[in-house]
Amino acid sequence: MKKRIGVKLGVTFAVLVSFLFAAPTQHYQVEAAKSKTEKTVKIKRTANKKVTVKVKKYVDGDTTRFKLKNGKIVTAKYLLIKAPELKKENPYAQEAKDRTKEILKNAEKIQIEYDKGAKRDSKKRELVYVWADGKLVQETLANEGLAVARSTKGKNTKYLDKIKKAEEKAKEQSRNIWAIENYAQAGKGYNQTAADEYKKAQAEVRAAKKAEAERLKKEQEAKEAEEKRAAEQAEAARKAEEKRLAEEAEAAKKAEEERIAQEAAAQQAAAAQAQAEAEAQAQQQAQAAEAAQGQTVYVTPTGSKYHTHKCGNGTYTPATLEEAQNRGLTACAKCY
């Protein structure tokens, strides 16, 4: 009984182990077969026939990785041109790459075309012409001074005249690479010494521009600081002037108020004095009237004056001053 149980357990364990290791093995076998199939995908390199492709990666100005319709990824080296070395950071290398990328990225249809000569170079890159919406990219780059025309041995010369003609236009107008003395070498490539000298000169120019920019920045900062200081001083002066004017206005207001108060006081004093004088005069008049009631004067029956004494011929009779005044008589000029 125990032997049977042991045998069953052993068989079960063996089956389980077989299942666990069998599945990965089959997976790896399928993947290996798939990889082998991909590697064996053949490329038809037919001359003078354009093949539609898609961009997989932009490498530099004259090198691009394309994806074919069958899924194969190939690295294409543009026939009959040479763009500046991007790895060496040579002049216009980045511009050439950017321009190639711009052309292909904006194209609705990209095609490659083999020539009658060699189909691959020593680095196993596909030697092709590249077309973007029916325009030869090599011709465009040569025309814009971003690549030199470069002859190759053999039969890869189909568009050489077209590319050289474009190169001549760029050279005549000193476009890009042709603007640097002794840099671009027609039919050969580039003079690295000239490239290094240009990069050194450009570095010096950049350093000078940077120094100039820093100088201008400092000048601008100093100017702004001076303007700020002047503005602050002007603001302080304005506030001081406002304060002075306000103080003067306040002082003038107080002085005017004091003047008005003094005038009012003077008017009140004058009025009080006038009232006092009027009261005194009235009192004097009252006293005079009271005194006049008992004063004796002399009058004549027909005279118009009253006298203090008999000052002339005629009949004088005594009367009170009040009676004489009531009769309309006035004081004698001789007596008064």
Side-chain-side CA neighbours of residue 295 (13 Å): 18
> C-alpha dihedral over 248, 254, 256, 258, to 10 degrees?
-150
Four-way CATH pick for 50-191: 2.40.160.20, 3.40.630.40, 2.40.50.90, 3.40.710.10 = 2.40.50.90
Alpha-carbon span 114 to 19, nearest angstrom: 51
Residue 295's pLDDT is: 81
Residue 321 has pLDDT above 60, yes or no: yes
What mean pLDDT do residues 172-177 have? 97
- Residue 329 binned pLDDT confidence (cut-offs 50, 70, 90): confident
Start-end of H helices in the chain: 2-39, 93-106, 137-143, 160-172, 192-294, 321-326
Residue 315's pLDDT is: 84
Share of the chain above pLDDT 70, in %: 85
**4 sits in which H/E element:** helix 2-39
**Pick the residue with more confidence: 220 or 278?**
220
Residues linked to residue 76 through DSSP beta bridges, in sequence order:
64, 126
Q: Which of 61-75, 188-202, 290-304 has the lowest mean pLDDT?
A: 290-304
**Tens of pLDDT, residues 204-231:** 999 999 999 999 999 999 999 999 999 9
Query: Where do the structural domains in the chain lie, given as residue ranges?
Result: 50-191, 294-331
Residue 283's pLDDT is: 80
Residue 310 has pLDDT above 50, yes or no: yes
Residues linked to residue 51 through DSSP beta bridges, in sequence order:
112
Tell me if the pTM is above 0.75. Answer: no
Positive or negative torsion for Cα 129, 134, 137, 139: positive
Residue 294's pLDDT is: 66
Alpha-carbon span 114 to 48, nearest angstrom: 6
